[in-house]
Amino acid sequence: MEATIDGRKGMSINWEGSAITRPRMVVKPERVSELIEIIKNEKKYPAPVRAVGFQHSITRCAVADGGTIIDMGNFNRILEFGQRHVRVQAGVRIYDLVKALDARGLQLCACPEFGDISAGSVACTSNRYISSRGILGQISSTVVAMKLVIPQGTKLNVTAKQPDMLNVMRSSFGLLGIVYEVTFAVREKIGFVVKRWQMDLDDLSLAMAGLNGDGIGVRLTVYPFSNKAQLETRHSVKLETATRQWKPTLRVWGWNCLVPLVAQLFKRLVPSSGLRGKQLDILLFRAQKMFTRLLQDRIVEMSAVCLPRCRMPKWGRCTYTTWAFPADDFSLLIEKYVAFCLQYKRDHGFRCDLPTKALFVPKDPASLLSYAADGDVFTLDVFSSGGKGWEDFLIDLNQFCSANGGVPLLNQTKHLSQRQAVRGLGRKLVTFKRLRRNVDRHNRLSSTFYQPLVG
Ligand SMILES: Cc1cc2nc3c(=O)[nH]c(=O)nc-3n(C[C@H](O)[C@H](O)[C@H](O)COP(=O)(O)OP(=O)(O)OC[C@H]3O[C@@H](n4cnc5c(N)ncnc54)[C@H](O)[C@@H]3O)c2cc1C
């Protein structure tokens, strides 16, 4: 097992560089027996003990100040392919898994677009992806078995025969055990047909009312400062013949890599935030409209929209935060959100310089702390190039979201307070807290990030 002691220098831990942590130990085990040794040997491997995958979380959920970070990078093997499942080690990159399944005519039952994430992390944390018939909005909900090393230093094998336990483990955030193996449900490959409309925000509620649910995936892009929106729907279809897939790949690449870079360049070239704000909104909306027209595709395959990390300089990256809201009144929520953004800009001079996205996630009670446990939701994914004013904005945004019935994603909602977490997740959070205390009496796995939220 490789071990690095790096207590003094500090270590940047997340993708956007916003979470710095100073662990006493960073270890990269190769075997489960080594994981057990790490958990058991409290002296050598101090708490908190945190497993990490690709460190691509945008919150501080993977920090372990003064503790031990377990890099799961050596647990990188796909162990077994079945017609209905795939069994992998926890450090396997989802992008590699998607490609390997694709080559066998199979796919995951969720559709991640950012592939540089580990199987272990997505199996036990909250995530949100565009759904459609046969495709869920959370990868964790597609987990049918999981193997962990629990805080007592013993192995635990959770299978579909223990649905309650699986339900808890799918949102355990590394607090009830270190995941070392995951089995995902898989299915035969399907494609999806995408339709897109651009409109004024005033017409959004009518357009959304016209969507007749049942298996349709929806993604919304909102431009609060130019009063525009794009509505995208997705229908699952059978794959008859192979089609060329460069257009959807290019579109996803453009959105994830080029758009943040343009926003950052704009920030440097046009220092006046007032002028930059409106112009950038208009520019991005027009670019999205043009791309939609130029890059029309007939049937899209999942493997075409799952991309690895793009090699952009750190300064060209964006950041975001996420909340979920009941789907019923979501167009009303968008109206309030736009008013909130305009008011915040007037009061504080800050505005997010990237459009906000929203994804429809159908009711999903597969995990205890699922943000969609009680019904269909839309996630509100607020993007920005960050910088001065962003962190303060998040405090007010959280108050707005919490006051309007928002449910947080514990690992993806930035600067969340305990009150907001309890308000959003209610009794389920209390149940989880009790369980966590029983399972991890000596707080081996709890960290300064999760402690205030889940006790
Ligand atoms: C450019 C970009 C785009 C993104 N797009 C999306 C998106 O569309 N949808 C979405 O939902 N998210 C998205 N994310 C967020 C990201 O995908 C998730 O946060 C994901 O969980 C990160 O995976 P990771 O392997 O890097 O996990 P890490 O950041 O390393 O860890 C995440 C959490 O999981 C825990 N953990 C990791 N491995 C284990 C293990 N083996 N056992 C127990 N606990 C473990 C960690 O301690 C930490 O709390 C995006 C992030 C970036 C940077």
DSSP-based three-state secondary structure for 322: strand
Q: Whose CA is nearest to atom 11 of ligand 1?
A: 127
- pLDDT exceeds 90 at position 434: yes
From the CB of 129, is ligand 1 less than 6 Å away?
A: yes
* CATH topology classification for 74-189: 3.30.465
Rounded percentage of the chain residues whose pLDDT exceeds 90: 72
Provide the pLDDT for residue 280: 78
Residue environment code for 14-36, b if the CB has 16+ CB neighbours within 10 A, otherwise e: bbeebbebbbbbbbbbeebebbb
From the CB of 371, is ligand 1 less than 6 Å away?
A: no
Alpha carbon distance 47, 443 (integer Å): 7
Provide the pLDDT for residue 223: 94
Query: Which position has the higher pLDDT, 415 or 271?
Result: 415
Mean residue pLDDT across the chain: 90
114, 176, 309, best to mutate for ligand 1 pocket (most atoms within 8 Å of CB): 114
pLDDT confidence bin for 7, thresholds 50/70/90: very low
- pLDDT exceeds 90 at position 243: no
74, 118, 124, best to mutate for ligand 1 pocket (most atoms within 8 Å of CB): 118
Provide the pLDDT for residue 232: 93
pLDDT digit string (tens) for 188-241?
999 999 999 999 999 999 999 878 667 899 999 999 999 999 999 999 998 877
From the CB of 119, is ligand 1 less than 6 Å away?
A: no
pLDDT digit string (tens) for 56-101?
999 999 999 999 999 999 999 999 999 999 999 999 999 999 999 9
Which atom in ligand 1 lies closest to the alpha carbon of residue 119?
25
Mean pLDDT of the 135-142 span:
97
130: buried, middle or exposed (CB in 10 Å: 19+, 13-18, 0-12)? buried
From the CB of 54, is ligand 1 less than 6 Å away?
A: yes
- pLDDT exceeds 50 at position 266: yes
Which atom in ligand 1 lies closest to the alpha carbon of residue 113?
8
Mean pLDDT of the 92-114 span:
96
Q: Which candidate, 160, 170, 112, places its Cα nearest to that of 136?
A: 112
pTM of the model: 0.93
Query: Which position has the higher pLDDT, 345 or 278?
Result: 345
What are the φ and ψ backbone dihedral angles of 191, each rounded to 5 degrees? -115, 180
Q: Whose CA is nearest to atom 2 of ligand 1?
A: 114
- 2-73 and 74-189: same fold? no
- pLDDT exceeds 70 at position 311: no
Rounded percentage of the chain residues whose pLDDT exceeds 70: 93
From the CB of 88, is ligand 1 less than 6 Å away?
A: no
Provide the pLDDT for residue 171: 98
Provide the pLDDT for residue 8: 46
32, 117, 307, best to mutate for ligand 1 pocket (most atoms within 8 Å of CB): 117
Mean pLDDT of the 27-50 span:
96
According to DSSP, the residues that pair with 117 across neighbouring strands are none
Mean pLDDT of the 114-124 span:
96
Q: Whose CA is nearest to atom 34 of ligand 1?
A: 121
Length of the chain: 455
Provide the pLDDT for residue 295: 74
Domain boundaries, the chain: 2-73, 74-189, 192-421
* CATH topology classification for 2-73: 3.30.43
Q: How far is CA 135 from CA 156, 373, 442, in A?
A: 28, 17, 39
Query: Which position has the higher pLDDT, 303 or 53?
Result: 53
What are the φ and ψ backbone dihedral angles of 406, each rounded to 5 degrees? -75, 150
Provide the pLDDT for residue 274: 65
Region of poorest pLDDT, from 141-155, 216-230, 283-297, 413-427: 283-297
Provide the pLDDT for residue 283: 80
Check: CATH 3.10.20.30 for 192-421?
A: no
Provide the pLDDT for residue 277: 66
Provide the pLDDT for residue 435: 96
Provide the pLDDT for residue 5: 52
pLDDT confidence bin for 388, thresholds 50/70/90: confident
DSSP assignment of 378-440 equals: EEEEEEE---TTHHHHHHHHHHHHHHTT-EE-TTTSTT--HHHHHHHHTHHHHHHHHHHHHH-
Mean pLDDT of the 376-401 span:
95
Mean pLDDT of the 251-267 span:
78
Peptide bond into 48 cis (omega under 30): yes
Q: Whose CA is nearest to atom 36 of ligand 1?
A: 121
61, 121, 221, best to mutate for ligand 1 pocket (most atoms within 8 Å of CB): 121
Q: Which candidate, 141, 59, 167, places its Cα nearest to that of 409?
A: 59
Place of tokens 């805080």: 151
Region of poorest pLDDT, from 41-50, 102-111, 275-284: 275-284
pLDDT confidence bin for 111, thresholds 50/70/90: very high
What is the distance in A from the centroid of ligand 1 to the CA of 450?
Answer: 15
- pLDDT exceeds 90 at position 270: no
From the CB of 128, is ligand 1 less than 6 Å away?
A: yes
Q: How far is CA 100 from CA 76, 81, 103, 107, 165, in A?
A: 13, 9, 5, 9, 29
Provide the pLDDT for residue 6: 46
